[in-house]
Every structure is written in C-alpha cells, then in structure tokens.
C-alpha cells in the first residue's frame, strides 16, 4: 500500500511527465520554424510576460515606470542583488515571502514543494549573494522540458515506451537545481541515479559500474575524471550519450571523453535562474540558444550589445515563461561569444554560441608592464593549461602571485609550464608574475561540488 504522501508524489510525477511530454512536442515543432516566425513568437511572449509582471508585481510597476511601452533594449537591467533585496515586491504570488522561502530551504531534505505549490532552487553564491528562485508546477514543467530538449537533440529522448537509464553526477544538495531536476525526472521512464560529485572518486566509479547508465550527465571537471577512470579500466560503463554541464567544457576535456567512450560529449549551457539556455545538437557546431524560451542579450560592461564573434562582458536574459518570479533583462555574468552565422546543418532557427569563457568573475586583474592593471580572460589560461596531462587543474590568484594546482600530473615539466604561462601573460601586457605549482590528489570542490578552473583569494 502506498502512503498518502507517496501516492501524492507518484501522482505529481505522472503529471510532470505528461506535462513535459506535451511541452516537448511543442518545442519540437518550433525547431522547424523560420527565423521570422521565431522572432514573432519572441515579441508575442515578451509582451505577455511584461503585461503579467506589470499587473502582479509592485516592483516591476515601479522599476519600469514610464517605460511600459518601451522596447526591451531601453528597460533597466535587473541584478541578483536587486532581485534579492526586493524579492517580496518582485514575486507575483503575493502570499510568498523570502523569509518563509529561506526557512523552507533550511529544512528541505527531499523533493517536497514550498507551500505545497512551488519548486525552489538556490544558487551557490560564488559570485556574491546567493539567489533564490521559484517556479509553479506549470513553470517547472517548462524547466524540465528545456533540459529534455537537449536530450532530444541527441536522440536520447525517453518517453512512455522508451526508458533511458540515467546517471547525474553533480550536486545532491536538494536546494540546487541539478538535484531538483534529477529528482523530478526520476521515474519508470527515466530511472535516475543521482551521485554527489563531492564523493570520493572510487565510490563514484563503483556506483556507476553498478548502475550502467545509458545517459551520463556530469559537471565538465567530473566528466574528465570519469573519462580518465574509464581509460584506466576502473570505470567500465558504455553510455550512448554524454552531457557536460555547469562548467566550461575545454577542448582537452572533450578530447579525453571522446577517447574514453568513442563519442563526443554534448555541451549544455544552463543557469539556475533560467534553466536551459543553449545546447549542442548532433552536429557539434556550437550551442543553439533556446530563443523560443528566453531572449538573450550579449552585452558589454555598459549593457550595449556586442557583435557576433566578440565576447560580451555579461548576458541579459528575459525568461519568456517566468511568471511567479518574472525575469526581464536579468544579468548573468557569463562571457559569451555569439557565432557570426546562426545557420547550422541541422536547420534549426536558433542563434549559435561559438564560445563561453565562463563567469566574468573568473577574469583576473594582473599588474601590467606599464604599471596599469591588465584584465586577463579565462581563455588565456585555457590555451596553456589544456595541453597539460593531469586529472585536473586550477589557477589561483593570490596576493603574491599565481598558484597552479595540478591533480595527479603525468610527465609535466614544471618550469616549462611556468615559462609558457608567463609568456602567454606577457602577450597580454602583464608583468611576469610569480608562479608556483602544487601537486594535489584532486582539485578542491565547492559546496555544490564544482571545481572552478580559475579563482581568486584576496
């Protein structure tokens, strides 16, 4: 006999599955739209989003005062700090209070809903104050459908008649979106093994060997570790599709994973605030932006659009299906480069992302040869470090110079590596910094199990 709670959970899971399937069918139809039809859809959905926000959110009525009919590009930018400071005014469910949501998160242990009605996720706060976001059941169906789209594009789609055994190696903290998504998709159709990326590697390997996933989803840094274990013969799984999430997928990690499993991982770009933002299709020609679900603006430090082929300082996103917590021109500090051409052999109408350098916070300020501070972008370090044979790396900026952490390096000439890095920095106008190399068993991970490639210690 099911308990009442378990029966309610099973009913919710079935409703979620059916809702996601319906939304997935709609997303598939949009894949064949013309570019003009896509832009018309964006305009219609943006107007609906703004109308809803102005009718129900005191914050937006004040924030956009005098600009209710202005184009999107003329609206003010919403920061995470503003969102959290004005949360109770911004949210459209007038009975929702941040204090209550925060208290709910402190006792969250499973997949229970806030106030019996809302899914809640929180960011880790690595770029400052943590953000808290919530979705109604229909909105959460769209969140799941956005991730399902990435699976669909690789042919790994599950359905009522097709099971896909899945493993998700990320955070199992129930307040983190990856854990909530894994819990939501776990069903008879997508039996899902959640594995905490903070576990000891041998334990992760044992669990994956026992589960034998057909689909493997993991942080990029974890995917590299698992690929090394597969090549060493300790991990013995045969996934038919691989997904890299949440961290920058470097060329080196892609190459190692491809060597291990004879297939290239599919890169997925997502954020807690927005859910899926972009994903690679089977052509691996770049990541298609989910422009039917959100409007992304790649901009410079002053919120001016940058042309394709140039990395922006940040991305402003308007999430077209957001209603409980409307996001209009919400700032994400990712450094994204749009492709010069949005056409892909697959024929989908969406703009392509050609590169993501990571968060703006990963750019390091280093003293220049002229005494002026130089800003060095993450890609400079990637070009040097991706040639190093190691289970992982991390660049740490300290007050007295740079430290390179190398996890289990193999045949690395430390002095040659330092020389190459200093030469690369010199080409950026940086005065040669002191560089130290430290070998470690594993790259330290954050509370949510991520291993940032570049970090600052002040």
pLDDT by 10s per residue, the chain, length 458: 234 344 445 677 788 888 888 999 999 999 999 999 999 999 999 999 999 999 999 999 999 999 999 999 999 999 999 999 999 999 999 999 999 999 999 898 878 899 999 999 988 655 556 899 999 999 999 999 999 898 889 877 665 567 889 999 988 888 888 888 888 888 787 899 999 887 888 999 999 999 999 999 998 888 988 999 999 999 999 999 999 987 778 888 899 999 999 999 999 999 989 999 999 987 767 899 999 999 999 999 999 999 999 989 899 999 999 999 999 999 998 889 999 876 788 889 999 998 887 665 566 788 888 777 777 766 677 778 777 878 778 888 888 889 999 988 888 888 999 998 988 888 878 888 899 999 998 888 776 667 777 777 76
Distance CA 46, CA 171 (A): 33
Fold of 363-456: GMP Synthetase; Chain A, domain 3 (3.30.300)
> Could you give phi then psi for residue 413, rounded to 5 degrees?
-85, 100
Q: Strand locations in 320-422, DSSP E?
A: 330-332, 334-338, 352-359, 364-367, 373-376, 392-398, 401-407
Distance CA 97, CA 88 (A): 5
Q: How many other CB atoms sit within 10 Å of the CB of residue 96?
A: 19
CB 285 within 8 A of CB 270: no
Residues 6+ apart with CB under 8 A from 325: 83, 90, 91, 92, 133, 134, 135
Q: What's the CATH code, domain 4-359?
A: 3.40.50.12780
Check residue 155 and give left, alpha or beta (phi > 0: left; psi -120 to 50: alpha): left
Domain coordinates in residue numbering, the chain? 4-359, 363-456
**Torsion angle of the four alpha carbons 57, 43, 312, 322, in this order, in degrees rounded to the nearest 10:** 40
Q: How many other CB atoms sit within 10 Å of the CB of residue 322?
A: 26
Instruction: Indicate the pTM of the whole model.
Output: 0.81
CB 292 within 8 A of CB 355: no
Farthest-apart Cα atoms in the chain, separation: 75
């Amino acid at each position: 006999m099911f308990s009442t709670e378990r029966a309610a959970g099973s009913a919710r899971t079935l409703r979620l599955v059916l809702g996601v399937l319906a939304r997935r069918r709609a997303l598939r139809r949009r894949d064949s739209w013309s570019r003009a039809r896509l832009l018309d859809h964006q305009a219609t959905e943006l107007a609906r989003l703004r109308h809803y926000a102005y009718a129900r959110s005191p914050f937006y009525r004040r924030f956009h005062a005098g600009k209710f009919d202005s184009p999107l590009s003329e609206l003010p930018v919403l920061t995470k700090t503003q969102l959290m400071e004005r949360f109770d005014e911004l949210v459209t469910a007038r009975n929702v209070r941040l204090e209550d949501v925060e208290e709910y998160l402190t006792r969250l242990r499973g997949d229970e809903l806030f106030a019996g009605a809302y899914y809640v996720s929180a960011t880790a706060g690595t770029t400052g104050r943590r953000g808290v976001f919530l979705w109604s059941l229909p909105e959460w169906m769209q969140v799941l459908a956005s991730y399902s789209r990435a699976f669909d594009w690789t042919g790994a789609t599950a359905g009522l008649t097709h099971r896909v055994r899945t493993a998700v190696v990320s955070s199992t903290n129930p307040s983190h979106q990856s854990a909530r998504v894994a819990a939501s998709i776990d069903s008879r159709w997508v039996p899902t093994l959640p594995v905490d990326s903070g576990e000891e590697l041998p334990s992760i390997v044992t669990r994956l060997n026992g589960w034998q996933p057909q689909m493997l989803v993991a942080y990029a840094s974890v995917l590299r570790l698992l690929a090394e274990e597969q090549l060493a013969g300790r991990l013995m799984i045969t996934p038919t599709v691989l997904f890299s999430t949440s961290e920058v997928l470097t060329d080196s990690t892609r190459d190692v994973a491809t060597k291990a499993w004879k297939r290239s991982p599919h890169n997925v770009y997502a954020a807690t605030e927005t859910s899926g933002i972009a994903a690679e299709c089977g052509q691996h020609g770049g990541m298609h932006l989910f422009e039917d679900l959100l409007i992304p603006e790649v901009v410079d430090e002053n919120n001016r659009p940058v042309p394709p082929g140039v990395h922006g300082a940040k991305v402003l996103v308007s999430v077209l299906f957001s209603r409980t917590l409307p996001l209009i021109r919400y700032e994400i500090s990712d450094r994204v480069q749009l492709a010069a051409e949005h056409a892909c052999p697959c024929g989908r109408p969406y703009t392509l992302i050609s590169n993501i350098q990571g968060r703006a916070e990963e750019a390091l300020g280093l003293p220049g040869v002229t005494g002026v501070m130089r800003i060095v972008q993450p890609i400079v370090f990637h070009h040097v470090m991706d040639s190093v044979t190691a289970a992982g790396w991390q660049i740490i900026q300290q007050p007295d110079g740079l430290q390179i952490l190398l996890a289990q390096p193999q045949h690395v000439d430390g002095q040659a590596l330092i020389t190459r890095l200093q030469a690369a920095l010199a080409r950026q106008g940086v005065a040669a910094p002191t560089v130290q190399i430290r070998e470690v068993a594993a790259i330290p991970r954050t509370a949510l199990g991520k291993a940032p490639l570049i970090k600052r210690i002040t």
